Amino acid sequence: MKPAAAANRGLGVLRAVVGATALVVALAAPVAASAADVGDAGATSTATSSAPAQSEPVPQVTTNLTDDGAEATASEERRGPARPVEPVPVRVVGPVLVEFMRAEACGVLSAGEGFEGLFPCSDGVVRDHSDVCGQAPVILPTWRRDRASGFVRWGEWRMVADVSCAGGPVPSGDQVLAEFRRLPVAPSPLRVQPDAEEVLVQMDTIAFTDDTPQVLSTTLLGVPVVFTVSPVAFTWDFGPDGGDGAPFTTTSPGHAYPDQDVAYAYRHVGTGQVTLTTTWAATYTVGADPTVREVPGTATTVSTSHDFEIRELHTHLIAGTCAQDPTNPSC
């Protein structure tokens, strides 16, 4: 054997077989070799190879399919369990197929369900949404458009959510006042003394009520609103009294005898009736917000008494007593 061939045996041998779907790379163990010095011309040269080094074999890397679909195998010597192969993360990036935006709504809402007939307004269009959100910030309607792939045109924008209010709707002062005046506030209970079918001229006819607050709840813009209603003024009308009567207003609800502070002495006989107009103010809270706000206005209720006869009392001398003669006109 030529010296060049012996030297080549001492090198690692790399063999690669590449198929359509398979690749086998085998690394042979290194081989130590030595050769005798080359002698004189005509002498023969010999080479002896030592045993393979006792190093750990290098595993082969093998795919599992060849180009014809058959399973490929490779003989390999291993020591210990095989090392697991770590997966390589792959990030897939595709085209955007859905888009959203916020914009005012234009067009005419159709009679059907949903938001058919509406389309996004052009930039610069601003609408008044105080009827929905009151003084709260407005969140414009939400629009969506889709496409099937990155190679086709976008579809039309369609509205998927109506206007909403940041932090929940807060009714405006005008809305609160209008709702307050629609509440079923109970009229003030009116009492008259003497509590009889008749009263006397030139004698006080006493009127009074109470000033107990009322608590009423309602729903405004979809949120609960609680009103605390209190009387702040009382207007008393004891009737015309032949032109001498005139309504008057107090802040006192009046009191019963003997602590009366609201009373009127009729001057003329006839039929009488007392009318009480109560002026109510209120505060309110909205939802879970504990802030107490004042209603920017008042409401009124009207109460009336029963009719009574206004009589004049005359003094007569009679024989005996009314117990003895109850049919006497003076009794």
Assigned domain for 16 exists: yes
Can you tell me the mean pLDDT for 262-275? 94
Can you tell me the mean pLDDT for 221-244? 89
5 sits in which H/E element: helix 3-9
Percent above pLDDT 70 for the chain = 66
The chain-wide mean pLDDT, for the chain, equals: 74
Can you tell me the mean pLDDT for 46-57? 42
Q: Same domain for 155 and 239?
A: no
Q: Same domain for 155 and 242?
A: no
pLDDT at 112: 61
Q: Same domain for 251 and 296?
A: yes
Assigned domain for 37 exists: yes
Q: Same domain for 216 and 293?
A: yes
Q: Same domain for 283 and 212?
A: yes
The boundaries of the domain holding residue 16 are: 3-62
- Structural domain count, the chain: 3
Which has more pLDDT, 80 or 33? 80
Can you tell me the mean pLDDT for 234-239? 95
pLDDT at 43: 39
Categorize the per-residue pLDDT at 117 as very low, low, confident or very high, splitting at 50, 70 and 90: confident
Cα–Cα distances in Å, from 134 out to 92, 168, 286? 47, 10, 12
Can you tell me the mean pLDDT for 46-75? 42
Q: Same domain for 193 and 154?
A: no
The residue from 115, 147, 165 where one domain ends is 165
pLDDT at 223: 80
Give 5's contacts (C-beta < 8 A, 6+ positions apart): none
Can you tell me the mean pLDDT for 280-299? 89
Assigned domain for 12 exists: yes
CA atoms within 13 A on the CB side of 126: 3
Q: Which two tokens stand for residue 60?
A: 């082969």
**pLDDT at residue 208 tops 90:** yes
Can you tell me the mean pLDDT for 197-213? 93
Cα–Cα distances in Å, from 311 out to 32, 201, 269? 147, 6, 5
For residues 331 and 325, the answer to whether their CB atoms sit within 8 Å is yes
The residue from 62, 87, 108 where one domain ends is 62
Q: Nearest-5° angle of CA 136, CA 137, CA 140?
A: 130
Assigned domain for 246 exists: yes
Assigned domain for 325 exists: no
pLDDT at 60: 44
Range scoring the smallest mean pLDDT among 147-156, 243-252, 256-265, 318-327: 318-327
pLDDT at 50: 40
pLDDT at 286: 85
Which has more pLDDT, 25 or 298? 298
Which has more pLDDT, 313 or 84? 313
CA distance 188 to 210: 7
pLDDT at 97: 81
Q: Same domain for 184 and 238?
A: yes
Assigned domain for 197 exists: yes
**pLDDT at residue 103 tops 80:** yes
Can you tell me the mean pLDDT for 131-141? 76
Residue 223: CB atoms within 10 Å:
16
Assigned domain for 327 exists: no
Categorize the per-residue pLDDT at 125 as very low, low, confident or very high, splitting at 50, 70 and 90: confident
Q: Same domain for 147 and 272?
A: no
Which has more pLDDT, 199 or 41? 199
Q: Same domain for 245 and 139?
A: no
Q: Same domain for 218 and 161?
A: no
pLDDT at 124: 83
Pairing of strands 98-102, 198-200: unpaired
- Which pLDDT tens digit goes with each residue over 142-197? 888 989 888 889 999 988 878 777 666 678 889 999 999 999 999 999 999 998 89
For residues 27 and 77, the answer to whether their CB atoms sit within 8 Å is no
Which has more pLDDT, 327 or 101? 101
Cα–Cα distances in Å, from 150 out to 56, 90, 299? 53, 21, 63
pLDDT at 161: 79
For residues 223 and 167, the answer to whether their CB atoms sit within 8 Å is no
Q: Which two tokens stand for residue 115?
A: 């938001």
Assigned domain for 328 exists: no
Residue 186 sits in a domain of what CATH number? 2.60.40.10
Q: Same domain for 307 and 185?
A: yes
Q: Same domain for 203 and 268?
A: yes
